[in-house]
């Protein structure tokens, strides 16, 4: 990675004197950004650009450059890459478009390049991107004319060049600037995870913003992010069709990609932002200490802005603790009318001695019970401007020295925003609501969930392996096998027996106890209910006999001739609440587990919690209690609680099972009946699909 | 109102030559804004300001001015108002602070002024505000130095002067400007509703933004808003403590003020915005035709910004319909690579002939199946700037001529934003996500609910009136009376009988049929369950006899000696789903009704819908179906549906009852059991509180 950001020398391939030539823009940007390394324009027609001679071929290079940037028509790129390889150039950026994004022919070109970089050990950024920037050394490789952004502390990874440039422009306009930037393009070789790892280790970077339209390896992203000590902002414009996966189970149809992404980001401590505007809000807290708690003090020169700040605090879960008595007294004494309210938010509109403000800020900065300060600052009249500016400078210094997070908005006089941003290099929020949102984003990273503890589920693994051996059509395990599997995982299943004749059904029912329910089971029968293959609440021998007959008829209609079918007899279980325990494989993040309201409620309540597997029992418990159903079974209004420990271990076990057996595509235990008391759970139905 | 915005002459009272004098800022602002009427500064020390002589007393005025603006110390204000009255000045703005906001003494001053304006028939804005602006005539009355905002089409009502000025500054910076502005201050006389009505009728105003910290008369606000033909944006920073009302019923504890505000705004078609940033986003669509549907076409020069726009469309419920085939073909033919995808969003990055863009825009503007267009505009290289600007000018004209809503964002080159805003007077969105949000805000107003139809519930009104006569302690109706009331409203109640002896209880149970439940009822007994006063599922004579004894003991403990108590016997009702029908009085909006999941689910599911009363059965039905419980009882997964018509009429009836009987504070029917089929609802418990 290093040479993509700190090259001592750069060759720019594809340059000509032609006014319409794009590659010469790269040379122009390098010069405009003050790049100090060697620049070698290369292009077959020669000539000179910005006073630098254009070499007609790479072979004319006087040295092995650290980095070659290629912007030629796509069809020439493989040859240029090969030339680079032969000359020992190990790092290449390809900005040309016309590859995989345009179809078959482009894909073939990419394959060719892939083979070349493998052979020569080249690392390649792009194609179809705009290269890299590093404002520490004036490296600026986009081909389109770019006013160099100021040097900042945030680094950017963007899948889209256009979005990347747009964000650079805004980060600059908001006074934040940028440290490093990489445009992923088609991700032929270098992908986001590797760049993210590099930025997380980079001393110049305090936070990373990723704009992505798809994930190369979501699971790896989670691993990288889990180790991070810097904020990661992810804007994932995830516009693929909703998972079309034949919605066989509730788990598949309900756990849309969006939910998996949300859950995964929360688990890894990645702040998922939905818009560019949100990224700008978050970025304004970069380079400040993180907000470690909920207690905010608002100092405001405008009463109204103080009210808006208080409203925003409530929206974002911040508290406004009362001021310490001596501080409240001091403010009261200093006010002109002596009637000023010294509650938090503090309305300082009646105090015209700015040294009071600075004194208050000093106290707050030293107070360990204050997690962040919001200052609504602004001189009201021209004559007080200089005093006000001196005050705000002091306040910023106090906060920095004390390591106290400080957000500032400016009331009314927008020129003061410019002063803070341009003169004091302090990014300023436009409105109090944005400022509080910014503090909340900062707090997010101090609330990262703990990494999962090692958890070894107690299962009968030999039986699990044996049962997984024989899936039916479409990969579904026959119902008896599915139930046995679940039972082998240590998750209780309602008693059941298999019958192939009416007589066997009667014996089973007598054995299990009335009333019973009966289900038709056959390898190719997936939609039991729709086929009339489920009968509930059979209370007498007569009903069981008649029921078996009806199921046999259903089998005649829905099971292909020659295929064996069975009838499953189960006691009719009453009472308790119905939940779902589910698992499936997400294309980005791999195995995920789901808990929520079960039975007919699953679809209507959408009361589900979701995690990327594996999870430990503690996390499973958190997950269960995130749902309303979880709170119900944990015992509300004097009801006896269910055994959440046991249920949590069952869910954690399911998550480990999914990780251990990659052939399992989906598990859907719905309903699982949960009763008060120890181990009180019973699985009543199970679907398991292998793939 | 007219004279607050179009005065021919203004007296400014409280002016002196003293550098610290605030009132002279008003004169300065009038001059800076180019006010053409007469300006008369008044102040006891005389002199001159900005070359205008200062009159030493109002009596020196050569004419009866249209408007007097007062900024003197608070204690002098009543005398100045009296002087105004004596001179026939009918409109007064008071900017002085030091009134009710500072406590008792200030409130007394306000009372004095209230009496004076009543006597003289004066209309008064303020005190403790910054007056009015009208950029049509250069009227600018704030005392703090104010760069006059440009003339725009949005008018502003602000309770806080500081927030008002801040928003004026931002509306101006974003190119929107302002038409009229009024600072409410302490609302001694003029309140928001009256100003809103005036702005809604004002030809210069296309939309109204209100910043409020409390509502003067929420119900009147709804009436005014319901008649509006212009967008109303309400930012209500509602930071009062959560309703503390002794949370006796679920309705009271769950329906927080916030929810009532949300529901009321939706009913009246007021767009509730939570932050100043959102207001700016909404305001950028002012002066454009409203977005009437969900179909958006996105034209983008950047593929990435197109993806972001598509993501935002999904977030905000917009669809991206495919282009008409001939248009898709035309774009395809015009692209350089001929490989461009002509799906919507349309990525125009590969088309360099801008006349194609204009042609496409023309077609879209004429297409009745396109509800709005988003253009991500931006020249990529300096040389194409002039062509690009010509193109965007044409596009804006096309859209205006065709009455098609158009939002524009600029890719990367922020100077183009300035060009659009300053040269073309077209407010530009900073990011595609904001633009789509702006379109959604515009669409909001075309989706206003229909005004309620007249609905005359069929009730036994004489019985209702009779029952309401005798509330118990704390205003609660005794349980038998409450049940009779509900029954008289035409809402079915489970059969019940009253027993005062064990023998009567046995007779009642025999009559109603086993199993039964029994409830202790006494005027002062509000919390039945907590007092052990509810027994369920009594299946035998023995259980009933023993039950009565237990209730009698409970009565001994919890009912004051001498107070009569009774036992209510009801059949134990099984099956169906439990819902809540509730109503209460909101301090801002008056009577509201609630529907949701009942029983133990009310608190856990928070599955409630809420409306300001009265509502008609159609709206009640919409409300029911907003909840998950409503969708469950409407028949999901093949379950037979409940009689929603009957339930809707019951809810509408409850809403009319609340309007008709203002003494009723709360009604809480919980649970109401809902069964499939005609009129299948049964009220099982009722609380009614009068006040």
CA distance A329 to chain B (A): 17
pTM for the structure as a whole: 0.91
Q: Is there a single domain that holds both residue A274 and residue A305?
A: no
Torsion sign, CA atoms A448, A449, A453, A456:
negative
* Edge-to-edge strand list for the sheet holding B123-125: B38-42, B9-13, B67-70, B91-94, B123-125
The mean pLDDT of A591-596, rounded to a whole number, is 95
Q: Is the residue at B290 inside a domain?
A: no
**B529 Cβ under 8 Å from any chain A Cβ:** no
CA distance B163 to chain A (A): 6
Beta bridge partners of A672: A579, A683
Task: Indicate the DSSP class of residue B262.
Answer: H
Cβ distance B213 to A381 less than 8 Å, yes or no, reads no
Rounded CA separation A353/A369 (Å) = 26
Q: Is the residue at A455 inside a domain?
A: no
CA distance A87 to chain B (A): 33
Per-position DSSP letters for B489-513, written without gaps between them = TT--B---EEESSHHHHHHHHHHH-
Long-range contacts, A255-260 (Cβ 8 Å, 24+) = A255/A582, A255/A584, A255/A586, A255/A592, A255/A594, A255/A608, A255/A610, A257/A586, A257/A587, A257/A588, A259/A608, A259/A610, A260/A586, A260/A588, A260/A589, A260/A592, A260/A610, A260/A612
Rounded CA separation B193/B686 (Å) = 37
Task: Report chain B residues whose CB lies below 8 A from the CB of A411.
Answer: 162, 165-166
Cβ distance A274 to B311 less than 8 Å, yes or no, reads yes
Tokens standing for B588? Answer: 């801002």
Q: Is the residue at B93 inside a domain?
A: yes
As to burial, measured by CB atoms within 10 angstroms (0-12 exposed, 13-18 middle, 19+ buried), residue A92 is buried
Torsion of CA A72, A74, A75, A81, to 10 degrees: 70
**Band of pLDDT at residue A224, cut at 50, 70 and 90:** very high
Cβ distance B277 to A430 less than 8 Å, yes or no, reads yes
CATH of the domain at B107: 3.40.50.720
CA A171 to chain centre: 22
Cβ distance A434 to B211 less than 8 Å, yes or no, reads no
Q: Is there a single domain that holds both residue A106 and residue A19?
A: yes
Q: Is there a single domain that holds both residue B113 and residue B16?
A: yes
Cβ distance A637 to B307 less than 8 Å, yes or no, reads no
**Band of pLDDT at residue A637, cut at 50, 70 and 90:** low
What is the structure's pLDDT at B230? Answer: 95
Q: Is there a single domain that holds both residue A42 and residue A97?
A: yes
- ipTM of this model? 0.90
Task: Report chain B residues whose CB lies below 8 A from the CB of A173.
Answer: 414
Cβ distance B430 to A159 less than 8 Å, yes or no, reads no
Judged by CB atoms within 8 Å, which residues 642-681 of B form the interface with A? none
CA distance A634 to chain B (A): 12
Rounded CA separation B128/B159 (Å) = 10
Q: Is there a single domain that holds both residue A564 and residue A599?
A: no
Whether A8 contacts A35, CB under 8 Å: no
Rounded CA separation B133/B126 (Å) = 14
Q: Is the residue at A512 inside a domain?
A: yes
Q: Is there a single domain that holds both residue B181 and residue B60?
A: no
What is the structure's pLDDT at A243? Answer: 32
What is the structure's pLDDT at B341? Answer: 65
Whether A191 contacts A218, CB under 8 Å: no
Torsion of CA A481, A487, A492, A497, to 10 degrees: 40
* Edge-to-edge strand list for the sheet holding B406-410: B346-347, B296-300, B372-377, B406-410
Rounded CA separation B327/B346 (Å) = 11
Whether B42 contacts B58, CB under 8 Å: yes
List chain B residues with pLDDT less than 50: 242-256
Range of the domain at A627: 577-690
Q: Is the residue at B475 inside a domain?
A: no
The mean pLDDT of A117-123, rounded to a whole number, is 97
Rounded CA separation B445/B228 (Å) = 10
Nearest CA in chain A to B310: A239
**Domain closes at, from A413, A443, A473:** A443
Of how many residues is chain B composed? 691
Task: Indicate the DSSP class of residue B465.
Answer: H
CA distance B542 to chain A (A): 26
**Band of pLDDT at residue A177, cut at 50, 70 and 90:** very high
Rounded CA separation B230/A12 (Å) = 57
Residues A57-84: tens digit of each pLDDT: 999 999 999 999 999 999 999 999 999 9
**Band of pLDDT at residue A191, cut at 50, 70 and 90:** very high
Rounded CA separation A209/B558 (Å) = 64
> Burial letters for B102-139: b for 16+ Cβ neighbours within 10 Å, e otherwise?
beeebeebbeebeebbeebebbbbbbbbbbbbbbebbb
Q: Would you call the peptide bond into B127 cis, given omega within 30 degrees of 0 as the criterion?
A: yes
CA distance B456 to chain A (A): 34
Higher pLDDT, B260 or A115: A115
Residue A238 pLDDT > 80: no
What is the structure's pLDDT at B127? Answer: 95
Does residue B572 sit in helix, strand or coil? Answer: coil
Torsion sign, CA atoms A270, A273, A276, A281:
negative
> Burial letters for B6-31: b for 16+ Cβ neighbours within 10 Å, e otherwise?
ebebbbbbbbbeeeebbbbbbbbbbb
Rounded CA separation A322/A364 (Å) = 12
Rounded CA separation B272/B279 (Å) = 9
Cβ distance A412 to B162 less than 8 Å, yes or no, reads yes
Q: Is the residue at A462 inside a domain?
A: no
Rounded CA separation B67/A144 (Å) = 58
Rounded CA separation A27/A15 (Å) = 9
Among the listed residues A162, A157, A209, A208, the one whose alpha carbon sits nearest the alpha carbon of residue A183: A157
- 3-state DSSP of A56-105: CCHHHCCCCCCEEEECCCHHHHHHHHHHHHHCCCCEEEECCCCCHHHCHH
- Out of A164, A166, A631, whose CB is closest to B604? A631
Residue A470 pLDDT > 90: no
**A529 Cβ under 8 Å from any chain B Cβ:** no
Cβ distance A170 to B430 less than 8 Å, yes or no, reads yes
Residue A248 pLDDT > 50: no
**Domain closes at, from B554, B572, B590:** B572
Q: Among the ranges A96-110, A198-212, A401-415, A554-568, which has the highest mean pLDDT value?
A: A198-212
Q: Is the residue at B23 inside a domain?
A: yes
Cβ distance A169 to B414 less than 8 Å, yes or no, reads yes
Q: Is there a single domain that holds both residue A243 and residue A306?
A: no
Tokens standing for B275? Answer: 């932050």
What is the structure's pLDDT at A680? Answer: 87
Cβ distance B307 to A237 less than 8 Å, yes or no, reads yes
Q: Is there a single domain that holds both residue B102 and residue B123?
A: yes
Q: Is there a single domain that holds both residue B169 and residue B109?
A: no
**Band of pLDDT at residue A196, cut at 50, 70 and 90:** very high
The count of domains in chain A is 5
CATH of the domain at A558: 3.30.1490.20
Rounded CA separation A21/A44 (Å) = 13
What is the structure's pLDDT at B82? Answer: 97
Q: Is there a single domain that holds both residue A388 and residue A499?
A: no
As to burial, measured by CB atoms within 10 angstroms (0-12 exposed, 13-18 middle, 19+ buried), residue B636 is middle
**Domain closes at, from B572, B597, B615:** B572
Q: Is there a single domain that holds both residue A531 and residue A620?
A: no
Residues B474-497: tens digit of each pLDDT: 788 888 999 999 999 999 999 999
Rounded CA separation B482/B495 (Å) = 13
What is the structure's pLDDT at A253? Answer: 39
What is the structure's pLDDT at B624? Answer: 96
CATH of the domain at B598: 3.30.470.20
Task: Report chain A residues whose CB lies below 8 A from the CB of B276.
Answer: 308, 430-433
Whether A365 contacts A394, CB under 8 Å: no
Tokens standing for A445? Answer: 């990273």
Per-position DSSP letters for B278-292, written without gaps between them = HHHHHHTTTTSPPP-
Maximum Cα–Cα distance across chain A: 100
Judged by CB atoms within 8 Å, which residues 410-449 of B form the interface with A? 411-414, 430-434
Q: Is the residue at A318 inside a domain?
A: yes
What is the structure's pLDDT at B434? Answer: 97
Q: Is there a single domain that holds both residue A102 and residue A17?
A: yes
Q: Give the number of beta-carbon pairs within 8 Å between A and B.
A: 180
What is the structure's pLDDT at B626? Answer: 94
């Amino acid at each position: 990675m290093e040479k993509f950001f700190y090259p001592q020398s750069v060759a720019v391939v594809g340059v000509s004197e032609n006014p319409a030539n794009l590659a010469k823009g790269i040379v122009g940007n390098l010069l405009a950004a003050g790049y100090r390394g060697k620049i070698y324009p290369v292009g077959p027609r020669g000539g000179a650009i910005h006073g630098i001679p254009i070499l007609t071929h790479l072979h004319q290079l006087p040295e092995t450059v650290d980095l070659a940037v290629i912007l030629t028509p796509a069809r020439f790129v493989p040859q240029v890459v090969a030339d680079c390889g032969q000359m020992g150039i190990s790092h290449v950026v390809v900005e040309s478009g016309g590859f995989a994004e345009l179809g078959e022919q482009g894909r073939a070109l990419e394959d060719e390049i892939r083979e070349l970089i493998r052979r020569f050990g080249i690392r390649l950024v792009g194609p179809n991107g705009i290269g890299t920037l590093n404002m520490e050394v004036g490296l600026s490789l986009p081909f389109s004319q770019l006013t160099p952004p100021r040097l900042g502390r945030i680094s950017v990874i963007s899948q889209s060049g256009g979005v990347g440039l747009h964000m650079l422009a805004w980060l600059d306009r908001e006074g934040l600037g940028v440290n490093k930037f990489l445009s992923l393009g088609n991700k032929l070789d270098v992908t986001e995870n590797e760049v993210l790892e590099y930025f997380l280790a980079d001393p110049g970077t305090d936070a990373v913003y990723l704009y992505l339209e798809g994930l190369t390896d979501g699971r790896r992203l989670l691993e990288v992010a889990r180790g991070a000590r810097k904020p990661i902002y992810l804007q994932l414009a995830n516009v693929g069709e909703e998972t079309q996966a034949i919605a066989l189970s509730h788990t598949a149809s309900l756990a849309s990609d969006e939910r998996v992404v949300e859950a995964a980001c929360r688990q890894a401590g990645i702040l998922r932002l939905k818009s560019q505007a949100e990224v700008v809000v978050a970025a304004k807290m970069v380079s400040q200490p993180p907000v470690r708690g909920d207690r905010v003090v608002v100092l405001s020169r405008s009463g109204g802005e103080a009210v808006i700040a208080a409203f925003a605090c409530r929206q974002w879960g911040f508290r406004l603790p009362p001021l310490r008595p001596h501080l409240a007294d001091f403010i009261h004494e200093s006010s002109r009318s002596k009637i000023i309210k010294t509650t938090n938010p503090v309305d300082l509109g009646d105090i015209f001695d700015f040294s009071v403000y600075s004194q208050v800020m000093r106290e707050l900065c030293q107070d360990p019970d204050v997690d962040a300060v919001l200052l609504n600052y602004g001189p009201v009249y021209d004559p007080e401007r200089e005093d006000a500016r001196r005050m705000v400078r002091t306040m910023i210094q106090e906060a920095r020295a004390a390591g106290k997070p400080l957000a500032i908005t400016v009331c009314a006089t927008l020129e003061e925003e410019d002063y803070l941003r341009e003169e004091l290099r302090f990014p300023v929020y436009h409105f109090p609501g944005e400022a509080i949102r910014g503090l909340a984003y900062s707090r997010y990273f101090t609330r990262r969930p703990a990494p999962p503890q090692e958890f070894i589920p107690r299962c009968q693994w030999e039986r699990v392996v044996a049962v997984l051996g024989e899936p039916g059509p479409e990969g579904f395990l026959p119902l008896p096998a599915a139930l046995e599997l679940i039972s082998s995982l240590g998750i209780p299943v309602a008693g059941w027996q298999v019958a192939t004749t009416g007589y066997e059904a009667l014996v089973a029912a007598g054995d299990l106890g009335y009333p019973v329910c009966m289900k038709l089971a056959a390898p190719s029968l997936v939609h039991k209910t729709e086929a009339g293959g489920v009968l509930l609440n059979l209370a007498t021998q007569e009903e069981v006999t008649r029921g078996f007959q009806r199921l046999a008829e259903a089998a005649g209609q829905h099971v292909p001739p020659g295929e064996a079918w069975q009838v499953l007899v189960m006691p009719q279980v009453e009472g308790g609440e119905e939940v779902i325990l589910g698992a499936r494989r997400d294309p980005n993040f791999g195995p995920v587990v789901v808990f929520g309201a079960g039975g007919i409620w699953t679809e209507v309540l959408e009361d589900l919690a979701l995690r990327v597997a594996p999870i430990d029992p503690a996390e499973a418990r958190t997950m269960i209690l995130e749902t309303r159903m979880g709170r119900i079974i944990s015992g509300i209004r004097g009801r006896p609680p269910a055994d959440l420990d046991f249920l949590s271990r069952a869910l954690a076990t399911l998550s480990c099972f999914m990780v251990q057996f990659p052939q399992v595509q989906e598990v859907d235990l719905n309903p699982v009946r949960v009763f008060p008391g120890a181990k009180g759970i019973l699985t009543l139905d199970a679907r398991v699909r292998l793939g």
